[in-house]
A and B are shown apart, each in its own frame.
Chain A
Amino acid sequence: MPESDLETVAEICFASDWPEVRRVQREIEQALAPFAFPDRDQFYIKIALEEALVNAVKHGNRLDPLKCVRLRYTITADRFEAHIADEGCGFDPAHVPDPCAPENLERPSGRGLLLIRKFMTTVEYHGRGNCMSMAKVRTAS
């Protein structure tokens, strides 16, 4: 278990392209390492980050390299938290079809938000839907 007073806080603004998404993911993976979250928590965080960053870059900023994604993350001994904002039009998460409904099961898209909701402890959308916060509380060992 890491020291309880250890904390990492960072704020990044990056261009909407895939190499930047990978660079940011690697940075967060490295930042998470000293906190030694359980493997399963790390898996959940990585998947949720992947889905959230892809949503921001692809669906929010529509891969416009002139548009930025702002990411602020905080890691403590018992919690990972991220705030992600894109420059897109936003969306209403309540209007996203349930991908688990029988009529939607064969649709090839729309599962990213579900994975974020299921894998993180809390998820909130702000503003016009172009900002989101998500947090994962460390699972007790």
Chain B
Amino acid sequence: MSTARRPRITFEDIGDVTVVKFTDKKILEEQAIQNIGDDLFKLVDELGRKKLLLDFTTVEFLSSAALGKLIRLHQRLATGGGKLILCGISKTIMEIFELTKLDKMLKIVKDEQTGLNAF
């Protein structure tokens, strides 16, 4: 018997952009980060999505381990001619991106609509 795990993300296709939302306020736990990574990579590797817009509106905390997943996702998409954009990031979480200089590497915009227009 297999047990289905709780989904960590939801996604919706708007045109050729896949908008991803997170179901957790805190992206901290190792297993949760692994599950989120698996779900995101499945979108790219198995479902063939090339334009991902990750909406962080619900997210209050984010660890450095989660940053690692985002970097790998960015690399995977870039390798396959795709693109990753982040939006809805709170001021405090934005500090994490700025301190780690990832705001220079990843494209970050204010909100979903801006993101949809940025691909």
Contacts and interface: CB of A to CB of B under 8 A. Distances in A.
A118 interface: yes
B29 A43 contact: no
Interface stretch (B13-21, B48-56, B60-68): B60-68
A109 B105 CA distance: 15
B5 interface: no
Nearest to B96: A115
A121 to B, nearest CB: 15
A50 B68 contact: no
A107 B68 CA distance: 8
Interface residues of B, number: 22
B28 A50 contact: yes
Interface stretch (B39-47, B69-77, B80-88, B111-119): B69-77
A47 B100 contact: no
A115 B68 contact: no
Among A47, A51, A100, A107: residue with most chain B CB under 10 A:
A47
Contacts of B75: 106
B92 A111 contact: no
Tell me what chain B mostly uses at the interface: helix, strand, loop, or mixed. helix
* Interface SS of chain A: helix
A99 B63 CA distance: 15
B29 A22 contact: yes
B92 A112 contact: no
Contacts of B69: 108
B108 to A, nearest CB: 15
Given A18-B29, A18-B30, A106-B71, A115 B61 contact: no
A118 B69 CA distance: 21
B52 to A, nearest CB: 17
Contacts of A36: none
Given A22-B29, A105-B101, A54 B63 contact: yes
